[in-house]
Structures are given as structure tokens and as C-alpha cells.
Structure 1
Amino acid sequence: MDPHQILELARALGAERAEIYQTSSFGRSANFEANRLKQVETGDEQGTALRVWCAGRPGLAVAHGPVDARLLAEKAIAISTFSKSEEADLASEGVAVESPLFVPTPIEQLIAWGEETIALVRERYPEILNSCTFTEEVGTVEIVNSAGLELCYQSFSRGGFLGAEWVRGEDFLQIYDGETVLETLSPSAIAAPVLQRLEWARKNSPSPKRSVPVLFTSKAVEVLLGTVTAALNGRQVLQQASPWSQLRGETVLSPLITLAQAPQLPPYITPFDDEGTRTMPLEFCTRGVLETFYADRRTARQLGLPYTGNGLRGGLGSYPQPGLFN
């Protein structure tokens, strides 16, 4: 349904401010197990979230698939009666958006890529059992609000993921790797890191009986940064739950570390957040020095921070909250 009609109906029923957040997605995948094609899957989803403010109180209602506009608006308004009053801070500044050109990949091509990837591994290690998934996903986000904002962006990605299981006597090895790209997937590029690790595992070696250095590869960064990203969360800072709440301008990490977000970095290009705010390149820590925090519009306003496009939803039924991307 046209989001403008939903907005008009919500206003007619008593909403002072309103926002429509609509998403649609389509995906397909070819899935292999034990070196053979197991199944081909396709799926599509559509959803609409209506956020309203009545007497200064927010309400949120969600519909999946076809939308009954009146029922959706009535639910959102009814829910607002149970909320605490807050300022309605809706984005109004337009964002220049250029969706990338999307050319669908036939499911036969996804299957062919999977078969080729497995063949590359079995050519050198015929005894290994491989699992493999090749996917393509396309999604559209549209945001329209009563402040005059109208945004729409379509994104897509392709992914290839390979898992190898090697049983050798009493030894058992599992290896997983993959990549997500905007361009055409390369079976050889996906198989290469798995083949490299299999080569390293050809010969068993005894553990050294001495102190050895511990190396953290790029794969470990996401896990290790969990505590850091929690400390940078503006909501945590506002609640004084972050150990860095009062440390802006001070050194909190190694001078070797700079943490930043890059909205235009493929494959997860993000021109605006889930509130319709333009996303901004931003350094949170520069050479170990704490510069700023990430926040949604409401949290940023309370902390006196600029709007940087870090208001993300955990799902259609969630209010925007501080979030990170890229």
C-alpha cells in the first residue's frame, strides 16, 4: 500500500507525527551437503512499520505482507496511550541516493558456482566432505514521514560460503570460509583460503613445550571488539553504564588502533539509517584516543552529539536504537 495513504490515515485518526518504514526482500540460494546439491531455496518478505506520536506519546505497529492501513494506524495509536511522552524527532533532510544496478543471477548459475567450488577442493582432497552455499539477496527500504522525508534505497549482495570436514584416523578438522560481494562470485577465491588451511593441516605437529606468541588474525577482530563497541554505545553512555562515559579526548586503546565507520564501503553500502538520517564517515577512536560515540537521533540529542546516521532497528517491531555498520 502507498505509504502516503497510511500517513494521511494516521493523521486523520489523531496522530500528530507519523513515520512509515517499509522493507521488502527477495533471496535465493543453492545449498550443498556432503559434496552434493541438497536443496534450492527462494523466499521473499514484505513488512511495514508505522510509528506515531499522539499527545507526545510514541506508538509502533507492524504488518507483514498486505497492509490494512486503518487497522495498522489504530493499533499504533492505541499502543501510544501506554507510552511515556517524548519529543518526536523526525528526519527531514533529503539524502542523495543512487541504488546500484542489479542484474539477477539465474539459480542455475548459483548451482554451477557451488559445483565448481566443491570440485576445486576434491581435485586435491577427494576424501573431504564439503558443504557449500551460494546466495543472492536483494532488499528495498523506504522511509516516508510527516516531516516531508521520502527515501528509498535498493541494495543487493551475493555470497559464497564453503565448509570442509576432514576425518583422518582419530583426527577431525572443520574449516569454514566465504565472502559477500556486489560483483560476480569467484569459486576459486572462495576455495583458496580453505585449500590453504587444508595444506597447513596435511602434517600433524606436536605442540611446542615452551612459551609461544598468540596471534590474533582479522577473523578474531569482531569477537574482540564486542566489549569496545558496547563502550562506544551512546545509550550506554547516557545511562552511565559505559566505562568510557567521561573519557572523550583521552587514550582508551593502543595508539596503533583507529576505529571508524565507512558508509560507502562495499558490499554493505548504507546511505541512510533506519530513521532516514544521512550516514556519516566517522572516527570513534583515532590512534587510541576516544573521539565520540554512536547514537540514534534521540540519544544523540540527549548527549549533545551530531546526527551521524547510527539509528538502527533490530527488526520491524523495534524502535531505532544506537547501531553500527561497516
Structure 2
Amino acid sequence: MSCSRATCSRRSTASTTSPVTSAGTRWAAAAARAASFRSPSRKGRRTCASRKPSSGATSRMIDGLLELARRRLEQGGGADALERRVERTSVAFEWGRLKAAGVTEEAGVNLRVLHRGRVGVAGTTNVGAENVGAGDAGAQHAALLLDRALASAELGEELALAFPSRAKLPRVTTHVQRTADASLARLIEIGQFLLERLTREGCQVNVAIERDVSDTRVANTAGAEGAYRSTGVAVSADVWRIAGDDVLAIGDAIESTDLPSEDALEGVVRSITSRLDHALRIVAPPEGALPVVFTPAGLSAVLLPVTQGLSGKAVLQGISPLATRVGQRVFDECFSLTDDPLAPGRTASRPLDDECVPSRGTGLVERGVVQRFIYDLETAARATTASTGHGKRGIFGKPVPGYTNLILGESGDGRRETWRELGGGLLKGINDGLLVDDLIGVGQGNVIGGAFSHPVALAYRIERGEIAGRVKDAAVAGNVYELLKRIAGLGNDARWTGSRFTPSLLLEGVAVARR
């Protein structure tokens, strides 16, 4: 085979916008049910009708913070700040019925200072209008936050941190207006569509939809700044089948900056029903060193050690097996890995990172050869290199290196997202093997070393090039760095799973054992 992201929360009532569908009465009824729903944990919260978060007040706080920092920091010091405001609309169906529907808001500011050669950080979610304006209350609040950051710097490590200057930012679409404008009824409609298509006798269906509209702004005392608005929709569904002591759960999820098309939703349906149909028959697991196909959903155990090893933080800590391998062929030549923060339509895309560094694509591995590691400003300063634009920060704590959109494949084409046959065309020619779709315990233990051993959560036996049935009580084991030296094939089913674009991967010599 050829290798070819104090919180302020607000409760929403149902939108009064009438969904425009051929089944308008049905969706109106669903919206009415959403309006009547009240979660006990959210009683007394204000209603929220806005779907357009405003960052103007918080931006004034950032400007005031940085101006205050310029006046108070000694020569050679500096500061940067990030503000983020997110409005999240959530809809949940459990066991086929509407269970929850509402809106929450989160907002906060993170401030980092370089003072007397040491770094300190402080954060706050107390960003109400009275605390971020130009009045005395706003000035006092900014001064308190700066005081906390300076106190943190007194205990911080020494670091020659340099804040980036103003630079031109790349163009990338992160916001789709129809996503931001979508009513609660429209989101319920999406969930109802999946419920109807996935319902079958003897099974229970859960569906969740989340729509985020966020505003992000980051700036520093060196003059760099950037702001962007983003939207995101995540849709997930899972089907449960309980028969005696056999509990089967199969799910799938899609996410994008735009509302899902009907084709995309049908892809979720096909993905779940295909795997469910194959899983109804239970067969004995194979044993031995066997060819194993890891689906895009099942690749986490294989890719996690690699992505951890490609972090500049791990290199500085001395725990990355790849630390001394830049320029060397470590993997099969059909293995290429890119991180692309400019990928169109993806929720992790952005024009700059959380430290004012402009975004750009980063080739990590090219045709099996390790090219570079990812760095934020701090790890880059410690490694005496430049940031790769991978700084990520929350409201509390300092920035850390983090990936955006990981793309596996030499072409780097992360645009296509379609459901194709299970296994991506890699099953033909496998006389006896395994197809792994989900594993238990991924991320536990000494992941970065490359060794893994996990029980299967969802896997299928392959016999004579076809799926024979689902296996239970089996486990797979191996070492990622050894297995990825000999990749037997890349599937034709590349798709997005979260912020990762990958095809199925066929690896030979994976240890398969019965439990």
C-alpha cells in the first residue's frame, strides 16, 4: 500500500426568530420547549439576547493597564495583556429529548509584566463596566491588577523576555456572521435533525451543539497589538446500545467556524451508522504482532507522543526524544506534520497568537525529517531562538506553547472533510489484523517516551480484507517512534477531528493481546 481554547453568566430565553424550514411548526414547538426549560443551577440569572460580545470596555482596560505599566515599570521592563470575551450557546439532547438550552458568558483579562528582569502574571474576570472604564473605579482596578502582577514578578524567574514590536498580520477568516446570528431555534433544529436520522430500535441517542462567539484582543508595551472576532460551532452525537452486559457507545463530532451543512450532518450520520452496523457482531480479537489501522479518531495514542516531543518546552526540560534529531529522518518518509493557524474555517485559526506574534504555518516534520519545534516567547527566550507564534494563555497563568491546527500528510491540504468508508481503503490485503477507532486511557503515563499500551474502547477485527466484527477485551501496545518508521499506508479518508486533520494510518507489527 502506498503512502500516498469571576465569570459572568447570563441565561437565555428562546429566540423569537422563526426558523425557516419546511417543518416550521415542529421546530417552533422545539423552540417553545427550549423557552420553558430552566436549569436549577441557573435560576435567577439575567436573560441574554445578545449574540455579539463587545470588547470595547475591556479593551479600554487593556489600554489603561499598558499605559500604567509604562509609567511604573523600570527601564528594560515591559508588559503584555490579553482580553477575551466568549458567549456560548449550548443545546443538549439526552436520551432523545431536549435536556438543556441556554447561554453563558465568560470574560477576563490576563496581564504579564517583565520587571527587574523577572516575569510576573495576574488575571481577573472582574471586568464589569464599572471596573474597566476611564473613571476612578476603572483606574483603581487596573492598578490592583498591575500590583498583583508586579508582586508575582518579585517571585518569578529571571528571563530575558523581549516583547514583539508591531507587525503586519496575515488575513484569515475566523468569523462567520450567520453563525453569530443563528437563533437558538436553529441550533435546536440541527440537533433534532441528527436525532431523527440516528434513532433506531434498541438504541438511545444523545446530541450536543455549542455555538461560541468570541472577541480576543492582545497588545503590549512595544506597540504590537491585534484583535479578532471568531465564531465556532461544535456538533456531537452518540448512540448507545445496551444489550445485557454489552454496552456499546459510538459517536462522532464536527466543528467549524460556520454552521454545518446538511451534507456535513449526513456525514456524521453515515459515520455513526456505519460503525454501529459493523459493531453489532462481536468476534474474538486476534493476537500477536499484527497490522493495525488507526482511524482519524483512533490516532491520538500514536500522535500524542510526537506532538509532545515537538514542543520546545519539552526540549528545554530535557524530556523530548526528538531534542537532538532536527534535520534527521526519524519517521517514514510519507509522514509529514504541519501546524497551520491560518487554515480556513477552523475554530483554532487566528491572525496572531496570544503574545502578539503574527501567525504562520509551521512545518514540524517534512517527509519524515524533523524540522523544528514550537515555541512561545518564554521558551524561545530560554532556548535563544525566536517564537514560532504558538503562545497560548488563559485568563490566569502565564502563556505556554500550544498547537492550533495539526495536519498530517505531505500535501498539507486540510480543507476537505468528508466521510468515507471505515478504514480509508487500507483494509484490502490485510489477512488478519485490527482496526482501532477508540482507545481507553490515552494521555496517561509516560506518553512522551513513545511507548503505549491501551485497552480498546472500539475496535474491529479485519479478516481477509474485510471487517469481521467488533472485538472486546483486547489491548494494543507498541512504541510510536518505532512504528512510525515503517508506515504501510495512509488512508483516503482524511478528515478533521477537532483541531487535527488526519487520514487513517496503517502500522505493521503492533502488539495485539486478549485481556
- With normalisation by structure 1, the TM-score equals 0.92
Q: Distance in 1 between matches of 2:114 and 2:190?
A: 50
Which residue is 2:157 aligned to? 84
Distance 1:84 1:199, change over 3 A: closer
State the match for 1:256 in structure 2. Answer: 334
Is 1:206 matched with 2:271? Answer: no
Instruction: Report how far residue 97 of structure 1 moved.
Output: 4.8
Does residue 229 in structure 1 map to residue 307 in structure 2? yes
Comparing 91-100 with 60-69, greater Cα deviation is found at 91-100
The answer to whether residue 371 in structure 2 is matched with residue 291 in structure 1 is yes
Matched, 1:39 2:100: yes
Is the CA contact (8 Å cut-off) linking 1:13 and 1:74 kept in structure 2?
no
Distance change in 2, residues 1:189/1:65 (3 Å): farther
Aligned: 1:241 with 2:332: no
Cα distance in structure 2, aligned partners of 1:40 and 1:156: 18
Shift of 1:256: 2.0
- Cα separation, partners in 2 of 1:55 and 1:306, compared to 1, 3 Å: closer
Residue identity opposite 1:320 in structure 2: P
CA distance in 1, matches of 2:166, 2:70: 21
**Partner of 2:478 in structure 1?**
none
Shift of 1:131: 0.7
Give the AA of the match of 1:288. G
Q: Please list every run of 5 or more consecutive structure 1 residues that lacks an aligned counterpart in the other structure.
A: none
Which one of 276, 285, 294 corresponds to residue 356 of structure 2? Answer: 276
**Which letter does structure 1 place at the counterpart of 2:337?**
L
Query: What CA distance in whole angstroms lies between the structure 2 residues aligned with 1:209 and 1:143?
Result: 53
* Equivalent position SS for 1:225: helix
Moved more, 180-189 or 64-73: 180-189
Counterpart in the other structure of 2:390: 310
Structure 2 residue runs of 5 or longer lacking an equivalent are 1-57, 132-140, 406-515
Indicate if the aligned counterparts of 1:97 and 1:153 stay in contact, CA closer than 8 A: no
For 1:292 and 1:176, locate their aligned partners in 2 and report how far apart those are by CA, in whole Å.
35
Contact 2:342-2:360 within 8 A present in 1 as well: no
* SS of 2:238 mapped into structure 1: strand
Q: Does 1:69 align with 2:149?
A: no
| In 2: Cα distance, 1:56 partner to 1:305 partner | 18
Deviates more, 1:127-136 or 1:84-93: 84-93
**Deviation of residue 208 (structure 1)?**
6.3
Using the TM superposition, give the Cα deviation of residue 50 of structure 1 relative to its aligned residue in structure 2, in angstroms.
1.3
State whether structure 2 residue 133 is matched by structure 1 residue 133.
Answer: no
- 1:64: Cα distance to partner? 0.3
The 1-side partners of 2:112 and 2:232 are apart by: 29
CA offset digits 1:288-308 (Å, max 9, x no partner): 111111111232244344432
Question: CA shift at 1:36, angstroms?
Answer: 0.3
Partners of 2:251 and 2:311 in 1: CA distance: 31
Q: Secondary structure at the match of 1:130?
A: strand
Q: Distance in 1 between matches of 2:149 and 2:283?
A: 63
CA contact (8 A) 1:118 1:132 kept: yes
Change in Cα spacing, 1:201 to 1:141, as seen in structure 2 (3 Å) is same
In 2, Cα distance between equivalents of 1:295 and 1:312 = 10
Inter-CA distance 250–35: structure 2 relative to 1 (3 Å threshold)? same
Aligned to 1:52, which of 108, 113, 131? 113
Further displaced range: 101-110 or 155-164: 101-110
Cα-to-partner distance string for 1:267-320 (whole Å, 9 max, x where unaligned): 12122111110122121111111111111123224434443201222x222222
1:294–1:308 contact (8 Å) kept in structure 2: yes
Q: Secondary structure at the match of 1:293?
A: coil
- Indicate which of 109, 117, 125 corresponds to 2:186: 109
Q: Tell me the residue number matched to 2:480.
A: none
The equivalent residue for 1:194 is 272
- Tell me which moved more, 217-226 or 158-167: 217-226
- Distance (Å, rounded) in 2 between the aligned partners of 1:166 and 1:85: 56
Deviations 1:124-144 (A, max 9, x none): x13311111111111121111
AA partner of residue 195 (structure 1) = T
Q: CA deviation at 1:323?
A: 1.7
Q: Secondary structure at the residue paired with 2:292?
A: coil
Residue of structure 2 aligned with 1:10, choices 48, 64, 69: 69
2:65 paired with 1:22: no
Counterpart-to-counterpart distance in 2, 1:116 and 1:127: 19
Distance 1:225 1:254 in 2: 14
Per-residue deviation at 1:170?
4.2
Are 1:160 and 1:190, in contact at CA under 8 Å, matched by a contact in 2? no
- TM-score, structure 2 as length reference: 0.59
* Residue aligned with 2:222, SS: coil
Q: One-letter code of the match for 2:221?
A: S
Q: Secondary structure at the match of 2:255?
A: strand
